Amino acid sequence: MDDQVHKEILARGTGNNIERRLESAREISRMHEGEIKTTEQLGSLKIIHPGMTDRNVLNAFRGLRAKLFTMNQGEGFVVMVSPVVSDSGSSFTASNLAAAIALDDTKTALLVDCNIRNPCLHELLDINCKYGLTDFIENSQDVSVEQLIHPTGIPRLRLVPAGQQHESVSDYFTSVHMEAFLEEVRSRYRERFVVIDAPSVAESPDARVLADLSDAVILCVGYAKSTRRQIAEVAVEIGKDKLAGVVFSEGR
């Protein structure tokens, strides 16, 4: 290919990408945010924010965000965050990863609580929610996707809570409604990134199904909670092409 032609193609591609990001930023700027949380509130909730004094934590989540962007070539993705064993900090990691994505004013993050047996994100983010994911999957005729998505008080970050507890929860994530839900929320914005807070892969069949529906998986290891063998076994089950990394935390 002629060098000049190659340069022109690259220039057009760069221009298209810039225009797409500008249009995405315009779309996202029109999102209704509601009451924005203060830095003091974010600090008490242990959510990262630009003005925080612990730059190591902030930069750690920025680095995790950058790795996911690289893996998916900057395109919107669904990433599942799952503990190797329960109480290993997956909800803390998922919420802060979503907050890190939302720091970019050209991107929007959607945090989805798929811990339907032990949900906590609505409490972690201090949000009062009427409807959640289980309500939509159980009764999609009467509950719309719009009713599931709640502002969090963090610009460009939205939450879909787990929803009400129902008697039969074993087949929620094998339902066609879950796939339809993910497709719809991904398509709402060009720069939409979905973060799923999931149960343990080793302890729940739900997480295995959700891993198949995700583009990438992050494993959380709580301090002194998992052996090397347990971590290796779960990592093998996820597969090296889908595993984005392992996060070590104090648990939460």
User: At 240, is the secondary structure helix, strand, or coil?
Assistant: coil
Give the start-to-end residue ranges of the domains of the chain.
1-30, 34-249
What CATH number does the domain located at 34-249 have? 3.40.50.300
Do the Cβ atoms of 169 and 116 come closer than 8 Å? yes
Query: How long a stretch of residues is the chain?
Result: 252
Mention every residue, 6+ apart, whose C-beta is less than 8 A from residue 138.
163, 166
Q: Looking at residue 166, what is its pLDDT?
A: 64
201, 234 contact by CB (below 8 A): yes
Per-residue pLDDT of the chain (252 residues; tens, 9 = 90+): 455 544 443 444 555 566 655 665 566 666 677 789 999 999 999 999 998 999 999 999 999 999 999 988 877 899 999 999 988 999 999 999 999 999 998 899 999 999 988 899 999 999 888 889 988 888 777 888 889 999 999 999 999 999 887 665 556 787 777 888 898 888 777 778 999 999 998 888 888 889 999 999 999 998 888 889 999 999 999 999 999 999 998 755
Instruction: Report whether 196 contacts 114 (CB < 8 A).
Output: yes
pTM of the model: 0.86
